[in-house]
Amino acid sequence: MEKLPKFEVIGDVPEKEKADYIARKRDIFEKQERILPEDDKLRKEIENAEYTKTPEQIAILNFINEETNRLMKECGVEPFDIPIENYHILPEKELKKFFDAQSSGTYSSRAYAIGLSSDLRSNLLWFATVAFHESLHMKAREVAQLYRGEEGKYKEKRYRAGIKVFSPHQKDINGNSVTHFSGADEGVIAWQEKINFSKLLELPELAEERKEYESEKSEIFRSRISLEKEIPEDEIICVNQDGTSWQNIGYPEQRKVLEYVCEEISKELKDKYPSKEDVFREFLKATFNGNLIVIARLMKQTFGGKGLRALGMMKTGKNNIVNNVLEMLRGMRRDTLHESQL
């Protein structure tokens, strides 16, 4: 039986509006041609730019679908399948134009689609890692909010995505919608990407990339890059022919904070969570089911009443905020440890 996403929607609007919204979303999910622009010229441009997927790419995407579904099931969440048609391989220019993508991979909740840069075709291991990351974003809990716009029309805004919480009607100083847990959300996805990397490497479709990855030349490049750029060797996905450019697992700063959080929670609650990976599972579960209650409790027990709020402040960039969050959490942890000794 076909498995579909949940299409969750909230908002103080008539039930019919919600039902129409869900029907529209389902239609978009199942018929991806609906996401193409109505403008003939633009539609042709995008259709012509899209690459046909190779049998290897299709096999990899099918594996990713099964693997992410396995994780959902393990976390007690009903899985669903991402149709192959919902992945779109496009040159960078079109990817940016159509998906507003800032990187080589992107997930669009509006289109229920994943955009992948044609550059990824140069190394299928890189392709697989990015596709895995974006597929996890798609399988994370997604909730939309409907509201009545100024001209009386009903509009939609994202309300939840994984553990990310949107405050759609609140704007920051740059005019962007306020979000919470955006950094932690990426941290969870990228951590799971790292866990799955070795599994991807074992795929028969990636045998050639694996040979290259395990070659002496590649190993030397990786250890040099690791030393020079302070990137753990096992986080380097691929290196080009002369060792001058490489790809690595993303969001290292956010993962570092998340790892610290999981380690401290594990120390605090050793019986229930013997390792940081056991705590991480709770974060993954929350990504799939959107329920932050367990996380809130663990954060409170380990970092005090303001711990969750501090983690929620972490953003996705490489800015100082990430370090500030880590320092804040360290301070809170010292205080809770101190209090427990009194």
Residues that bind Zn ion (CB under 5 A): 186
Task: Give 238 or 249: the residue with its C-beta nearer to Zn ion.
Answer: 249
Which residues is 160 bridged to in the sheet? 143, 165
Minimum CB separation of residue 317 from Zn ion in Å reads: 13
Task: Give 186 or 264: the residue with its C-beta nearer to Zn ion.
Answer: 186
| Burial annotation 46-79 (CB, 10 A radius, 16+ → b, else e) | beebbeebeebbeebbebbbebbbebbeebebeb
Minimum CB separation of residue 187 from Zn ion in Å reads: 10
CA distance 253 to 236: 15
Task: Give 142 or 186: the residue with its C-beta nearer to Zn ion.
Answer: 186
Minimum CB separation of residue 15 from Zn ion in Å reads: 33
Closest CA to 311 of 159, 174, 164: 164
Task: Give 18 or 194: the residue with its C-beta nearer to Zn ion.
Answer: 194
Q: Roughly what angle, to the nearest 10 degrees, separates helices 252-268 and 293-303?
A: 70
Task: Give 94 or 186: the residue with its C-beta nearer to Zn ion.
Answer: 186
DSSP secondary structure string for all residues of 260-283: HHHHHHHHHTTTT-SSHHHHHHHH
Instruction: Residue 180: count other Cβ atoms within 10 Å of its Cβ.
Output: 20
Minimum CB separation of residue 287 from Zn ion in Å reads: 11
Minimum CB separation of residue 316 from Zn ion in Å reads: 8
Minimum CB separation of residue 297 from Zn ion in Å reads: 26
Alpha helices (H) in the chain, listed in sequence order: 15-30, 40-49, 55-74, 92-99, 124-139, 182-201, 207-214, 216-229, 252-268, 276-289, 293-303, 307-312, 320-341
Minimum CB separation of residue 136 from Zn ion in Å reads: 8
Please state the φ and ψ torsions of residue 290, each to the nearest 5 degrees.
75, 0
Task: Give 137 or 222: the residue with its C-beta nearer to Zn ion.
Answer: 137
Task: Give 186 or 205: the residue with its C-beta nearer to Zn ion.
Answer: 186
Task: Give 106 or 336: the residue with its C-beta nearer to Zn ion.
Answer: 106
Instruction: Name the residue whose CB lies closest to Zn ion.
Output: 186
Task: Give 287 or 336: the residue with its C-beta nearer to Zn ion.
Answer: 287
Helix (H, G, I), strand (E, B) or coil at 159: strand
Closest CA to 32 of 89, 70, 94, 102: 89
Minimum CB separation of residue 193 from Zn ion in Å reads: 9
Minimum CB separation of residue 87 from Zn ion in Å reads: 15
CA distance 31 to 8: 19
- Please enumerate in sequence order all residues whose Cβ is within 8 A of that of 125, keeping only pairs 6 or more positions apart, or say none: 200, 201, 206, 209, 210, 213, 237, 238
